[in-house]
Structure 1
Amino acid sequence: MNVSEIAARAKQASYILGALPPETKDRALNAMACALRVHADEILAANQLDLQEAKRAVEAGEMKPALYERLKLTREKLEVVIRGVEELVELPDPVGNVLAATELDEGLNLYKVSCPIGLIGVIFEARPDVVPQIAALAAKSGNAVVLKGGREALHTNDALAKVLQNALASVPGYPPEALNLIHTREESAQMLALDQFFDLIIPRGGNSLIAYVKANTKIPVLGHADGVCHIFVARSADVEMAKKICIDAKNQYPSACNALETLLIDENWPDHYKKELLDALVKSGVELFGGADVAALAPVRGPVTDWHTEYGEKKLSVKQVKNVLDAVEHINRYGSHHTDGILSADHDEVQIFMDLTDSAGVYHNASTRFADGYRYGFGAEVGISTGKTHARGPVGLEGLTIYKYKLYGNGQIVADYTGAQAKPFTHKKIGGNI
């Protein structure tokens, strides 16, 4: 079956999904979670095959170590994904919610109601946990999906897709064509050309992937190109808190898109605090890059050649700035509008940072690693959007819905509301139930 045929069948399935009762969707989620646990060993065995090939690629200089780390699927990581699927069952159904209700006239009522987007194409690199996360979010939100993973995760993606497809096929009333996996770059290019079927494309990967997708499709694109995340250490920051948060933000998962990549320090923060923080980072295994002023405080590997750098490993750009406004200017200029934070005890300074920093997530006294759909209580996420479309930040269930207007009348016609004897509209807000 070619991509066009897969997309056509998936599009038809999306119409069925849009009208499924919540109970059917939740049964699908429970079936998926159960199947992932039952087949965990074979999924992890498939991941080992991918890791063996990836290790050879790393040794040959054909793959970055950060990509290898993203490829790993441990039993613990798989269990987190499964719990995320189960938590989606407990969340309210995002479809069919009345977002606004207006009486246009007596007996003529307009409702703005949430509904699925339809058919979504997802192109992603490495991270095989994307497959169950997106499959689950699509099931709960009533969307059909076509997934295209990177060849480095071929065995894992195939194993996950097979397990999930079989689970969904066991649920009465759930269309089996709703979840699909394609494999090649040629198929990916074909998908991007099918704007008659796809309603949204979500790329998850590096700059080159995002740029390629945006340049080669007419379909709306949702996603983020990179994660150049900052933390600004203000002059009132607590040094112990700063050490704990910065080390977590950089080292807890260095290859993640929400990991710390640039540390900004207020030049008025005491030098002995600066040295203490930078020394703690170095001792934790982080390589620092910065100018002569930073080199006077701690050992650096060299200057920063590009402030818009996503290392994806234990490397960190460091810069001293004049104040919070200088920090905000730097972040808005060089950042990726992903997630950026301030460490400060000054309320006014914090509010300036939170209001002026143009990022999808702005944090106070917290690690940037919290930028995640699971940690936000979304159950999972399809990705993080740094754009200013209908969804921003971690995109969970709400970001996978749009809305339609439903008008309920009783024989009204527009002619009665035009001309010299036109009836007036009431435009009165009414109760939210249809």
Structure 2
Amino acid sequence: MSSNTLLTLAQSCRQGALSLGILPLAERNQALATVAEALAQATPEILAANEADCHQALEMGIAKPLYDRLKLSGSKLQATITGVKEVQDLADPLGEVSLHRQLDEGLILKRVACPLGVVGVIFEARPEALIQITSLALKSGNGVILKGGKEATHSCQVLTQVIKQALASTAVSPEVVQLLTTREEIRALLELDQYLDLIIPRGSNEFVRYIQQNTQIPVLGHADGICHLYLDQAADVPQAIAVTVDAKTQYPAACNAIETLLVHQAIAPQILPTLADALQAKGVVLRGDAATQALIACDPATEADWRTEYSDLILAIKVVDSLEAAIKHINTYGSKHTDGIITEDLVVAQAFLDQVDAAGVYHNCSTRFADGFRYGFGAEVGISTQKMPPRGPVGLEGLVTYKYQLRGQGHIVATYSGAQAKPFQHRDL
């Protein structure tokens, strides 16, 4: 696509978004219902396109974690379509008044939620992400320009075609959903700060850094998902084993799967042999520090392992002598994504939740819950590990901003200035 064509595409998307942003909730919801129905009817076509992508990816030697993300099974597609319907059922994010204040008689201030405008989302192999992102964009009144991984090109093209055809029969312009297919288009997109309001990159640390350093458009995203689980000396052992196995093996390619397990030295001799058997039964390759190797058979862990997101059935294990040591390790090596503790000591648990620097901090549950769908957001556009909000799984609230609406009756600032200045009332309504 030429730069002029991309510019036209961005302009059309923005124009469509302006109309979408003022549509009543009922019409936005009807568009979502129509899209969900169209996706359900096109299931065979979508799965066939994904099968072609998977076949081609295997021939090119795709890594297993990436292949797992690329593969779109019938059940995964159905769950994603259900997510569209759940987004439809969510409260309207637009028009919410978060401040209603009388500055003076007849001078009324409101802070009202409104769409961002146009969002560019560059995501990894997962084709279902296109559906999730689009549904959130439609609900929140935003246009969206999508760029999926090259390995998912056929899947993304078919999905976009189905969605745009569905929107053509609704009050929403199909122009609000656009798809890019080449890496060159990404570079050109980053220069369109006049037409895009936010970029959300989902990929490697290197890729996210590239996006941040090569655009003037605000960027929201996370890079690595180096998640930890700490088994405290007061952990319930059966619970600790069950949660660890789930957090590592339920879907190891996910960014919220744990990559490092920290175990308090007081329970390490008791729990590690049984835990190692449970993990290895699931095919997990274990790497441990010297203290871990003294208790179980495993490969040695190096400094690099503490900084690695495996996205695979590999787990690094370290024995620590205190809660403080566990927190220090997490805050040193973690990616500020999601970290958890297993303990029956509520004081220790609260200290962990307060002191670990991450978007998600969990007590006695799997890190795999870090997900917009599981949080009740319907879906997510991504997970943000930055400190400024939105943080963690980003749903509708991350796609809206606000504006201050002030209504008066000929009020002028001079009335409230100078020696005879009239005081403001500043009364919340």
TM-score for the superposition, normalised by structure 1: 0.96
User: Take 1:129 and 1:405, find their aligned partners in 2: how far apart are those partners?
Assistant: 36
Q: CA deviation at 1:323?
A: 1.4
Alpha-carbon distance in 1 for matches of 2:25, 2:301: 55
Aligned-residue offset at 1:294: 0.7
The equivalent residue for 2:23 is: 20
Q: Which amino acid aligns with 1:184?
A: T
Contact 2:339 2:358 in 1 (8 A): yes
CA distance in 2: counterparts of 1:297 and 1:64, whole angstroms? 32
Partner of 1:249: 247
Which piece of structure 1 moves more, 223-232 or 292-301?
292-301
How many Å separate the matches in 2 of 1:368 and 1:281?
Answer: 16
Equivalent residues of 1:304, 1:317 under 8 A apart: no
1:419 counterpart letter in structure 2: G
Per-residue CA deviations over 1:9-43 (Å, capped at 9, x if unaligned) read 11111211211100010001001110110000000
Q: For 1:174-193, what aligned pairs fall within 5 Å after superposition?
A: 174-193=172-191
Match of residue 280, structure 1, among 258, 264, 278:
278
Residue 39 (structure 2) aligns with: 36
Work out whether 1:199 is the aligned partner of 2:197: yes
Q: Distance in 2 between matches of 1:420 and 1:213?
A: 53
Report the equivalent of 2:358.
359
1:125-140 equivalences in 2 (<5 Å): 125-140=124-139
TM-superposition CA deviations, 1:347-388 (whole Å, max 9, x none): 100000000111100000000000000000000000100012
Residue equivalent to 1:150: 149
Contact 2:230/2:262 (<8 A) preserved: yes
User: 1:304: how far off?
Assistant: 2.5
**Conserved? CA contact 2:268–2:319, under 8 Å:** no
Give the letter for the 2:252 counterpart: P
Q: 1:4 aligns to what? A: 7
Q: In the TM superposition, what are the counterparts of 1:53-64 in structure 2 within 5 Å?
A: 53-58=56-61, 63-64=62-63
Aligned match of 1:418: 417
What count of residue pairs does the alignment treat as equivalent? 425
Q: Which amino acid aligns with 1:43?
A: I
The one-letter code matched in structure 2 to 1:5 is T
Secondary structure, in 3 states, of the residue corresponding to 2:224?
coil
Q: After TM superposition, give the deviation of residue 290 of structure 1 in Å.
A: 1.4
CA contact (8 A) 2:290 2:300 kept: no
Counterpart secondary structure, 2:340: strand
Q: Does structure 1 conserve the Cα–Cα contact (< 8 Å) formed by 2:50 and 2:152?
A: yes
Structure 2 distance, partners of 1:373, 1:355, is 22
**Match status 1:406 vs 2:405:** yes
One-letter identity of the residue aligned with 1:149: G
Partner of 1:279, secondary structure, is helix
Say if 2:39 and 2:81, in contact at 8 Å, map to a contact too.
yes
RMSD of aligned C-alpha atoms? 1.0
Asked if the contact 2:358–2:385 (Cα under 8 Å) also holds between the matched residues in 1, the reply is yes
* SS of 2:28 mapped into structure 1: helix
Q: Please state whether the residue corresponding to 2:299 is helix, strand or coil.
A: coil
Instruction: Output the CA distance in 2 between the equivalents of 1:201 and 1:39.
Output: 29
CA distance in 1, matches of 2:247, 2:302: 20
Residue matched to 2:375: 376
- Distance in 2 of aligned mates of 1:175 and 1:184: 24
Partner of 1:50: 53
Q: 1:296 aligns with which of 294, 297, 306?
A: 294
Corresponding residue SS for 1:329:
helix
Equivalent-residue separation in structure 2 for 1:345 and 1:389 (angstroms): 32
Are the counterparts in 1 of residues 262 and 317 from structure 2 also a CA contact under 8 Å? yes
Distance 1:298 1:102 in 2: 64
> Residues 329-368 of structure 1: matches in 2 within 5 Å?
329-368=328-367
Structure 2 unaligned blocks of 5 or more = none
1:159 and 2:162 aligned: no
Residues 215-226 of structure 1: pairs in structure 2 closer than 5 A: 215-226=213-224
Which of structure 1's runs of 4+ aligned residues deviate more than 6 A? none
Partner of 1:96: 95
Which residue in 2 is equivalent to 1:324?
Answer: 323
State, as a whole percentage, how many aligned pairs show the same letter.
Answer: 51
TM-score if structure 2 supplies the norm length? 0.97
CA deviation profile, 1:159-204 (whole Å, cap 9, x unmatched): 1000011111110x21221000011111111100111111000001
Does the 8 Å CA contact 2:289/2:319 hold for their aligned counterparts?
no
Q: CA deviation at 1:398?
A: 1.1
How far apart, CA to CA, are the structure 1 residues paired with 2:364 and 2:119? 36
TM-fit CA distance, 1:270: 5.1
CA–CA distance in structure 2, aligned partners of residues 388 and 327 of structure 1: 21
SS at match of 1:2: helix
CA offsets 1:289-332 (integer angstroms, 9 cap, x no match): 11221112212122233111100100001001121111111111
